Structure 1
Amino acid sequence: MNEELLDRAFVALGDPVRRAMIARLSRGPATVGELAEPFPITMQAVSRHIRVLEDAGLVTRSRDAQRRPVHLDAAALEQLTAWIDRYRLDAERAYRRLDSVLAKTLSTPTENHDKKEKES
C-alpha cells in the first residue's frame, strides 16, 4: 500500500461513522440506505462518508440491477494490518530486549549478595 493511500485509509478510519460502516460491511455488502440506518444523518452525508472510504481504497461499489451495494475490500484492510503489525512486532522485540536487560540487572545484586553470604 503506497503512502498516500495509507494516509487516506487512516484518515478515513479516524471517523466513528466510517468505522461503524466498515464494521457493518465486515458482515457483508450493504446498500447506502442500509448503511445509513443507524445514523441520524442525511443520505447525502452517508454518501460522502462512503466516498471517503472509496477514495481510501477500503470499499468498492458494484451494480446489481437497481441496487449499488457497497463492499468491504478485505485486502485493503489486510494491508493496513500488515503495516501495523510490522511496527508492533518491532516494538515487542524492543520490549523483550529491555525485559532481558532489566532481569539481568535486577538479578545481579541478589547473586552477589548470595555469594558474600556463602563466603562468610
Structure 2
Amino acid sequence: MTVPPLDESVAGRLKRDANGLFAAVAQERGTGRVLMVAWMNDDALAHTLATRKATYFSRSRGERWVKGETSGHTQYVHSVRLDCDGDTVLLEVDQVGAACHTGDHTCFDADEILAPEGLTS
C-alpha cells in the first residue's frame, strides 16, 4: 500500500529529536491504561494515519514496523493526538493480544516502583 506523506499541517507541528524521531504513547481504548511507549518518525505516523494500524520506528532495526505484523498482537488506532509541545503523540488503540514483547498485556505490568497511597501490592 502506498501511503501519502504526512500532511504539512501536522508535520510542521512535530518536534523531532536529532534522528527525526518523536515519542508515541499507546493507550488502551476503554480502560485508559498505557500499553507501551515507542518511537515514530514522519513515515510511521503517516502510515498509522492512513491505515489505522499502529506503526512505529524500530531504533534497533532502523526501520518502520507495524505492531503485530509478525506476532499477531495488533493495535487498531481509533484516534491520534499531538501533545502541547509537539514532541509526543497519543494513540488510542484496541489491543489484540499482548502489547509488550515480554507477553504482558502492557509494558508497565512488571515492576511497580511506587504503589498508590493507601494500597499495598
Q: Same fold (TM over 0.5)?
A: no
- TM-score tier (shorter): under 0.3
Give me the TM-score of the superposition, normalised by structure 1: 0.22
Give me the TM-score of the superposition, normalised by structure 2: 0.22
Larger Rg: 1
More strand by share: 2
More helix by share: 1
